[in-house]
Structure 1
Amino acid sequence: MSVGAFLITFREALEAAIIVAIIIAYLRRTGRENQIRDVWLGTGLSVGLSVLLGIGILRLYGGLGEKELFEGIASYLAVIVLTSMIYWMATKGKDIKAEIENKVSASIAPLALIGFTFIVVFREGLETVLFLTPFMTRDLGGALLGLVAGLAGALVLAYLIYGVGMRINLRKFFYFSSIFLVFVAAGLAGYGTHELIEWAEEDGYSLGFLANTAYDLGIPSESIWHHNGAIGSVFAVLFGYSVSMEWGRAIVQFSYLLTSLYLVLRAYGRGVYPREEGDTLRHLA
């Protein structure tokens, strides 16, 4: 199972569940229970379109000749979207409840509510598809298993929060998951750079020292510590670990890691999520 696919899917699915719960709770609180079915309709449409989009991307990948170029671009695109999502949640996430409720209060007509729900949930679905594409191109079975496990875990936690009443600290959840995702994104940036370097070399482009080996640990491919091995593959997904790297990959990966960690830690360190009783997922709704 791809740990990276699990972590990304879990967080995205949980965010979608939080959004839906906020909308439904607001409708009940304002006496608009009859519109809850519109929320589920918009959610269903967004999930269906996300699945179709994922299938379309995989079919496109299967018919491409230059797979290294596709994987490199897909990895970079995933990093861009993932980074924006992480930083937005760190700097603006505290206002998510008020922002959603304001939009729902203005969405009186059924089509307006369906459309709003579709957009906010599809955003999570689109992000998930973009994030998982690089994992699926490398290990389709492991990525699909991580996808299913992530969805199941998010649904179970959402039920425990909104069905049973379990409380979980919102600040800590997004803080630690954001740090994990920064490492995942750094690994994706490095992997994408590696694929682009391979594509450039195959097409006869000269990249100079960027294509030269920065380090080589000398670990054989059959070892469990190799980045394709049983243990090394987990580290590869979580921390961007590789037994060898080109200079271009090392520069991009570690520059991204240090910069993003600094920005995220600074954002959370400024008290974006104040420690108070309302700082729980249960109170979002």
Structure 2
Amino acid sequence: MNAGAFLITFREALEAAIIVAIIVAYLRRTNRTEQIKNVWIGVGLSLLASILFGAAILGLYGGLEEKELFEGLASYLAVIVITSMIYWMATKGKNIRAEIESRISNTIGPLALIGFTFIVVFREGLETVLFLTPFATQDFGGTLLGLIAGLIGALVLAYLIYGLGMRINLRTFFYYSSILLVFVAAGLAGYGTHELIEWAEEEGMDLGFIGETAYDLGIPSESLWHHKGAVGSVLAVLFGYSVTMEWGRIIVQFGYLILALYLVLRVYGREPALSPKENKLKSTV
């Protein structure tokens, strides 16, 4: 199972589940229960659209000759989307309930509610497809397992929170998951740079020291610690580990890692203190 795919899907699916739960709870509270079926229609349509979009992306990849260029650009696009998602949740996530309820209060008619639910849920599905595309091109089976496990985990947690009343500090959860996602994104940035370097060299471009090997650990490909081995592949997905790197990859990967970690810590202010109240898993959403 691809650990990065699990983490990304778990977080995106949890965000989608939280949004749907907020919409349904608001409709019940305002005596609009007859409109809840429209919410589920919007959810179903968004899931179908996400699946079709993912299939189209993989179909496009299968027909390409310059796969290194596609994987490099797809990795960069995923990094951009992950970064924007982390920033949005850090700055806007704490007011997500008020923002959604404000929009739902002005949403009248079944088509409007279906459309609104489709848009907010499909956004999460679209982000998930873009995030997982670089992983799927490397390991489709592992990525699929990570996707399924992430969906199940998110739905279980969402049910515990909104179905059984479990209390959890979601801002603390998103804080720590954002830090993990920064490492995943840094690894994607590094991998994308590696693929672009390979593509450029195949095209006969002279990259200078950017394409030169910065280090080589000399670990054989059959070793567990190789970045394609049982242990190394997990480290590669979560932390961008590789037994060999070019200078260009090191500059991009670790440059992004340092900058993104600094911004996450700055946006959140500081690491959330685990006070007695938070240890009781108080919900903030």
1:90/1:272 contact within 8 Å kept: no
Q: Secondary structure at the match of 1:83?
A: helix
Summarize the alignment of residues 107-146 of structure 1 with structure 2, pairs less than 5 Å apart.
107-146=107-146
Gaps of 5+ in 1: none
Counterpart position of 2:226: 226
Give me the TM-score of the superposition, normalised by structure 2.
0.96
2:169/2:284 contact within 8 Å kept: no
- CA distance in structure 2 between the aligned counterparts of 1:67 and 1:242, rounded to whole angstroms: 20
- The Cα of 1:250 is off from its aligned counterpart by 0.4
Q: Secondary structure at the match of 1:164?
A: coil
Q: CA separation of 1:20/1:272 partners in 2, compared to 1, >3 Å: closer, same or farther?
A: farther
Counterpart position of 1:79: 79
- 1:146-197 CA distances to partner (integer Å, 9 max, x unpaired)? 0000001111111111111111111210011000000000000000000000
| Runs of 4 or more above 2 Å deviation | 270-273, 279-284
- CA distance in structure 2 between the aligned counterparts of 1:25 and 1:90, rounded to whole angstroms: 23
- CA distance in structure 2 between the aligned counterparts of 1:198 and 1:237, rounded to whole angstroms: 20
Counterpart position of 1:41: 41
Counterpart position of 2:169: 169
- CA distance in structure 2 between the aligned counterparts of 1:201 and 1:271, rounded to whole angstroms: 43
Give me the TM-score of the superposition, normalised by structure 1.
0.96
Summarize the alignment of residues 137-216 of structure 1 with structure 2, pairs less than 5 Å apart.
137-216=137-216
Summarize the alignment of residues 238-253 of structure 1 with structure 2, pairs less than 5 Å apart.
238-253=238-253
Q: Secondary structure at the match of 1:107?
A: coil
Does 2:63 align with 1:54?
A: no
Q: Secondary structure at the match of 2:24?
A: helix
Residue type at the aligned position of 1:98: A
Does 2:30 align with 1:25?
A: no
- The Cα of 1:270 is off from its aligned counterpart by 5.6
- The Cα of 1:205 is off from its aligned counterpart by 0.9
- CA distance in structure 2 between the aligned counterparts of 1:269 and 1:217, rounded to whole angstroms: 38
Compute the RMSD of aligned alpha carbons: 1.8
- How many pairs are equivalent? 283
- The Cα of 1:125 is off from its aligned counterpart by 0.1
Q: Secondary structure at the match of 2:245?
A: strand
- 1:114-152 CA distances to partner (integer Å, 9 max, x unpaired)? 111000000000000000000000000000000000001
- 1:217-241 CA distances to partner (integer Å, 9 max, x unpaired)? 1111111011111101000000000
Gaps of 5+ in 2: none
- CA distance in structure 2 between the aligned counterparts of 1:215 and 1:19, rounded to whole angstroms: 45
1:38/1:114 contact within 8 Å kept: yes
- CA distance in structure 2 between the aligned counterparts of 1:178 and 1:239, rounded to whole angstroms: 13
- CA distance in structure 2 between the aligned counterparts of 1:264 and 1:90, rounded to whole angstroms: 8
Q: CA separation of 1:281/1:152 partners in 2, compared to 1, >3 Å: closer, same or farther?
A: farther
Q: CA separation of 1:73/1:230 partners in 2, compared to 1, >3 Å: closer, same or farther?
A: same
Counterpart position of 1:63: 63
Counterpart position of 1:5: 5
Q: CA separation of 1:36/1:280 partners in 2, compared to 1, >3 Å: closer, same or farther?
A: farther
- 1:40-98 CA distances to partner (integer Å, 9 max, x unpaired)? 01111000000000001001100100000000010000000000000111122111111
**Greater CA drift, 226-235 or 263-272:** 263-272
The alignment-based identity, stated in percent, is: 76
Q: CA separation of 1:272/1:37 partners in 2, compared to 1, >3 Å: closer, same or farther?
A: farther
- CA distance in structure 2 between the aligned counterparts of 1:235 and 1:135, rounded to whole angstroms: 14
